Amino acid sequence: MEEGILSQLGSLYYPVSALLVYTKKGYGQADRSYVEHYDIDANGKAINAHPLTIQETSKLIKSLKVQVSGSKERVLSKEILPANLLYVNNDIQGPVIWYTRKTSLPLFFIDRLGIDSGVANVPAMVWKVVGKKLHVYALAADKRPTADTILYHAPFFNIHADGGVCLGTVDTKLDHITHLQDWMGAWQEFFFNSRFSHLLSSPVKGNCVQLWKSLVGTGKPFPKKVLIPIKLTLGELLKA
């Protein structure tokens, strides 16, 4: 009878440790607290009283972390924060903003555009991810931007006037990502490994198709003179 009831209750939990918090009332000062840790023996008796150690505190913090709406915690940096990181919010849905230097990489275009896929030079860029939404912008200077740096329209296809990217059917699953650097790199791959297909705005001065026809496979540097400024600075982007 007893075994049947216990089986319905599920797994049994046994006490293994306890915390006792002491507080000292301050006179004209902030209250002070002290935490003492106890082990629990086989008989349920508190033993081995000692101040809570740093290691025990770390384990306690990890055990108390809560996942919200099925989402996992923000991925952490491998070691120190990436040098190109500009802003990160602790909220899992909060924005992460970073920049990349000018570089050359493969670009892919649908046949209808008449642009051969291939390697081309691209300008420095600013990336912003909020939840599952990606925004990208271009930079005129190939250096770390400041709060006063003016942003430019990213000179690519599939981008709305506000910088929002249409990723189409690109699979943006990130469950396998464990570090911030890899997470940022994954978003860059989502963008550059997708096929550019259509214009959602006028991102450059002149003809965007002709621009990339002149750049793909030629090794020519990206011409900054074709960039169009947005009425937005990096500092304003942080608040947006």
* 153-191 confidence digits (pLDDT tens): 999 999 999 999 998 767 777 767 778 888 899 999 999
Q: Which DSSP helix (H) or strand (E) runs through 40? A: strand 32-40
In this predicted model, what pLDDT tens digit does every residue of 52-95 receive, in sequence order? 666 666 566 555 443 433 444 556 666 677 889 999 876 666 78
Domain boundaries, the chain: 2-64, 85-239
Region 26-47: mean pLDDT is 68
* DSSP label of 50: E
Judge residue 2's burial from the number of C-beta atoms within 10 Å of its C-beta, 0-12 exposed, 13-18 middle, 19 or more buried: exposed
Residue 102 has pLDDT above 70, yes or no: yes
Per-chain mean pLDDT for the chain: 82
Region 210-239: mean pLDDT is 96
Dist CA 12 CA 72 (whole Å): 27
228 touches 204 (CB < 8 A): yes
Residue 74 pLDDT: 57
Residue 7 pLDDT: 47
Judge residue 200's burial from the number of C-beta atoms within 10 Å of its C-beta, 0-12 exposed, 13-18 middle, 19 or more buried: middle
Q: Which residues pair with 179 in a beta bridge?
A: 76
Name which residue leads in pLDDT, 165 or 33. 165
What predicted TM-score, i.e. pTM, was given to this entire model? 0.68
* Tokens at 39, concatenated: 């082990």
Q: 């400024």: which residue's tokens?
A: 229
